[in-house]
Chain A
Amino acid sequence: MTETASTGQGGGDVRLTGISKKYGSFQAVQPLDLTVQQGSFFALLGASGCGKTTTLRMIAGLEEPTTGTVLLGDRDVTGLPPYKRPVNTVFQSYALFPHLDIYENVAFGLRRRGIKSVKKQVGEMLDLVQLGDYARRKPQQLSGGQQQRVAVARALINRPQVLLLDEPLGALDLKLRRQMQLELKRIQTEVGVTFIHVTHDQEEAMTMADSIAVMSAGRVEQLGTPGDLYENPGTTFVANFLGTSNLIETEVVGRDGDAITVSGSGGCKLTLPAARCSAPTGNGRKVLVGVRPEKMAISHADDAGTIPEGRNRVPGRIAGTSFIGVSTQYVVDSAVCPRLEVYAQNIERDGRLAPGADVVLHWNPQHTFGLGADQDIAAGEEAAS
């Protein structure tokens, strides 16, 4: 029973309070509070150097926090070395022991805790990751995807309270990465352990995680479910880093109940729901109005009359198009904002929509969000690419 005791069936959430890390004068992680619910799949998302890996390593015990505490359930583990924490890690590039075979790699943690009969558990674990036939191979004889699964098995067999994954799919090619995303999700659902997953790939985070913390420059920018973050980005960084956003500089000119009216350069009037604006909305306030490229529709200027009333409209001219199969991407220059991006489904393609054509972009005002204009409008664009 000892082995299950350390795995904490009573468990609980992972709570970071005021945790920060400083290397010399470089503040890698600003003091942050974070709670990860037991059994959830949590992603720390951000560009390289944003402090996400450092945060993960502080939970693992591989890095000592400068300030703050790490709690697993009610237990303070801040001062514990990694080998005394009921937490296991899947390392970037896996860190499989090259001198041990797959079986011994997976059995490593059990053996270190003095468990003698490991055969059954190791067998089950290898079956879970579908590598039962590879037990006696050396890590370097396995493909990248197989090594990745061994790394997961080696960590999971210890039934940790929390499994930490540090860019676990970074070394795989795109197709395999997609496959492994589903695989990891399946394993997580099957074993029900809390997963904390560090990644720089926003698509990966959105596919897999129940909730995501977007990090930038050692700070958590925003925390929420994937859908919430995507639909209601709280900062320009999140708006640009998660997917693509068209951000338009405007000024508030009026308010009608729940709807705010703003005016962009050229006098173009747009409306957005007050509830979706995170910035102050008094008259004369500057606001960045955002809309996702796939929410916009594009019509040729000749058809402007057929656009239903009540939709936000922006006139412009097509600067470029690129055909990508399921959709076509248009780049539209407008007086309101240069370089607006629009994705149109390829249902009925309008032959007139070629570079140089005058068009009207229109969308449901409900799909518009507002951000404070005091931020860098391009924040997160570099990081996302």
Chain B
Amino acid sequence: MTATTAPPDAPPVTGGEPPRRRAFRRGRLVPYWLLLPGILWLIVFFLVPLVYQASTSVQTGSLENGFQVTWHFQTYWDALQQYYPQFLRSLLYAAVATLLCLVVGYPLAYLIAFRAGRHRNLLLVLVIAPFFTSFLIRTLAWKTILADGGPVVGFLSSAHILDITAALGWTSGHRVLATPLAVVTGLTYNFLPFMILPLYTSLERIDHRLHEAAGDLYATPWTTFRKVTFPMSLPGVVSGTLLTFIPSSGDYVNAQLLGSADTKMIGSVIQSQFLTVLDYPTAAALSFILMAVVLFVVTFYIRRAGTEELL
């Protein structure tokens, strides 16, 4: 306890420029030090691999003699010619699954945001909780649910729904498993939370009084939804559809577990080319094309939706 006139921790007051400038210079470097490790990680293990992949895709050679960069762009052409059905199928399945997620997920998001009252947290937990069981196990459960001769197939069959879907080419015979319907069901199921959570977040932000105001201004509930609620939830719709479309376009788990050879998606092809056939250039080219297509679709979609600051 000394009776000094300055605070104990105060340095001698210089009032001059040097200490301040030093502090400033040190402060200016802080963000770079904070960014460095994480960004370096992403550069080395995300960006550089993409470059390696691009280079692999234009190599030729064999496993035994090694691969050389020969700028063999023919690989792309060959790969596209051979695997365009899988490409188109992937995009189609992903698009359908995304649309289904939106249609099926919107009411639930709306319910949680506006109609759940004190059950809101419970419902949110129920949406997220299934996540905690490995998605592979849950996908396998669909094998049981959609099993031949099971109650679901029995019902669909006796209600003649399977006749309709078979006519459309979604199912074949009295089966659901190993058909496009099963794959799309699995995709929709697996990526539904990615749709519901962003939808819920954007719906929850809407001031409830806007509904009352719309009602006060002669809007029917349906008009209120079309003119007020839905437009205001668009940011959620955009990010939800992206978060569903992107992973489902590259997915091969659902196609493999619930589908058949006729429902093979591009992810399966890339996987088998890489891990089984060991044709690295073709696999890299396919992967590169998939990346380009998805990035193109995403950019185009974000531009159209006009929400570039979204993510």
Which residues of A does B touch, CB under 8 Å? 1-2, 5-6, 8, 10, 64, 69, 75-81, 84, 86, 113
B37 at the interface (CB under 8 A from A): no
Partner of B13, one of A5, A6, A80, A113: A80
What 7 A-B pairs come out closest when comparing CB atoms? Answer: A6-B7, A76-B15, A1-B1, A84-B10, A1-B3, A79-B20, A79-B15
B19 at the interface (CB under 8 A from A): yes
Q: Is the pair B1, A76 in contact by a Cβ cutoff of 8 Å?
A: no
Q: Is the pair B10, A5 in contact by a Cβ cutoff of 8 Å?
A: no
Partner of A69, one of B10, B14, B15: B15
B82 at the interface (CB under 8 A from A): no
Which B residues between 1 and 39 are near A, CB-CB below 8 angstroms? Answer: 1-11, 13-16, 19-20, 23
Q: Is the pair B5, A10 in contact by a Cβ cutoff of 8 Å?
A: yes
CB distance from A161 to the nearest CB of B (A): 11
CB distance from B18 to the nearest CB of A (A): 9
Enumerate chain A residues within 8 angstroms of B2, measured Cβ to Cβ: 1-2, 5
Which residues of B does A touch, CB under 8 Å? 1-11, 13-16, 19-20, 23
A64 to B23 Cα, complex, angstroms: 12
Enumerate chain B residues within 8 angstroms of A1, measured Cβ to Cβ: 1-3
Enumerate chain A residues within 8 angstroms of B20, measured Cβ to Cβ: 64, 79
| Contact A2/B16 with A80-B10, A84-B9, A84-B10 known, Cβ cut-off 8 Å | no
Q: Is the pair B7, A78 in contact by a Cβ cutoff of 8 Å?
A: no
Q: Is the pair B15, A5 in contact by a Cβ cutoff of 8 Å?
A: no
| Contact A76/B7 with A1-B1, A2-B1, A2-B2 known, Cβ cut-off 8 Å | no
A5 to B1 Cα, complex, angstroms: 10
15 A/B residue pairs, CB under 8 Å, sorted by A: A1-B1, A2-B1, A2-B8, A5-B3, A5-B8, A6-B6, A8-B5, A64-B20, A75-B6, A79-B13, A79-B15, A80-B13, A84-B10, A84-B11, A113-B7
Enumerate chain B residues within 8 angstroms of A69, measured Cβ to Cβ: 15
A86 to B6 Cα, complex, angstroms: 9
CB distance from A88 to the nearest CB of B (A): 13
Given A80-B13, A84-B10, A86-B7, 13 further pairs, Cβ under 8 A: A1-B1, A5-B6, A5-B7, A5-B8, A10-B5, A75-B6, A75-B13, A78-B15, A79-B14, A79-B16, A79-B20, A81-B23, A84-B9
A76 to B16 Cα, complex, angstroms: 10
Chain A interface secondary structure, helix, strand, loop or mixed?
loop
CB distance from B186 to the nearest CB of A (A): 43
CB distance from B48 to the nearest CB of A (A): 38
User: Chain A CB within 10 Å — which of B9, B16, B23 has the most?
Assistant: B9
Q: Is the pair A84, B7 in contact by a Cβ cutoff of 8 Å?
A: yes
Q: Is the pair A77, B13 in contact by a Cβ cutoff of 8 Å?
A: yes
Enumerate chain A residues within 8 angstroms of B6, measured Cβ to Cβ: 5-6, 75
Enumerate chain A residues within 8 angstroms of B14, measured Cβ to Cβ: 79
Q: Which residue of A lies closest to B13 (CB)?
A: A76
Q: Which residue of B lies closest to A9 (CB)?
A: B5
Q: Is the pair A79, B19 in contact by a Cβ cutoff of 8 Å?
A: yes
A84 to B7 Cα, complex, angstroms: 8
A261 to B117 Cα, complex, angstroms: 75
Q: Which residue of B lies closest to A71 (CB)?
A: B15
A201 to B23 Cα, complex, angstroms: 37
CB distance from B274 to the nearest CB of A (A): 49
A79 to B20 Cα, complex, angstroms: 6
A8 to B6 Cα, complex, angstroms: 8
Q: Which residue of A lies closest to B8 (CB)?
A: A2
Q: Is the pair B8, A6 in contact by a Cβ cutoff of 8 Å?
A: yes
A80 to B5 Cα, complex, angstroms: 16
CB distance from A310 to the nearest CB of B (A): 59
A6 to B15 Cα, complex, angstroms: 18
A77 to B15 Cα, complex, angstroms: 7
A78 to B4 Cα, complex, angstroms: 20
Q: Which residue of B lies closest to A70 (CB)?
A: B15
A76 to B15 Cα, complex, angstroms: 6
Enumerate chain A residues within 8 angstroms of B8, measured Cβ to Cβ: 2, 5-6
User: Chain A CB within 10 Å — which of B1, B7, B14, B15 has the most?
Assistant: B7
Enumerate chain B residues within 8 angstroms of A77, measured Cβ to Cβ: 13
Enumerate chain A residues within 8 angstroms of B9, measured Cβ to Cβ: 84, 113
Q: Which residue of A lies closest to B14 (CB)?
A: A79
A113 to B9 Cα, complex, angstroms: 9
A69 to B14 Cα, complex, angstroms: 12
CB distance from A147 to the nearest CB of B (A): 24
A77 to B5 Cα, complex, angstroms: 14
CB distance from A16 to the nearest CB of B (A): 14
Q: Which residue of A lies closest to B23 (CB)?
A: A81
Q: Is the pair B19, A5 in contact by a Cβ cutoff of 8 Å?
A: no
Enumerate chain A residues within 8 angstroms of B10, measured Cβ to Cβ: 6, 80, 84
User: Chain B CB within 10 Å — which of A76, A78, A80 has the most?
Assistant: A80
CB distance from A23 to the nearest CB of B (A): 15
A112 to B2 Cα, complex, angstroms: 18
CB distance from B228 to the nearest CB of A (A): 30
CB distance from A158 to the nearest CB of B (A): 11
Enumerate chain A residues within 8 angstroms of B13, measured Cβ to Cβ: 75-77, 79-80
A21 to B27 Cα, complex, angstroms: 20
A78 to B16 Cα, complex, angstroms: 9
CB distance from A356 to the nearest CB of B (A): 41
Enumerate chain B residues within 8 angstroms of A6, measured Cβ to Cβ: 6-8, 10
Enumerate chain A residues within 8 angstroms of B1, measured Cβ to Cβ: 1-2
A91 to B192 Cα, complex, angstroms: 45
CB distance from A81 to the nearest CB of B (A): 8
CB distance from B304 to the nearest CB of A (A): 36
Partner of A2, one of B4, B11, B15, B23: B4
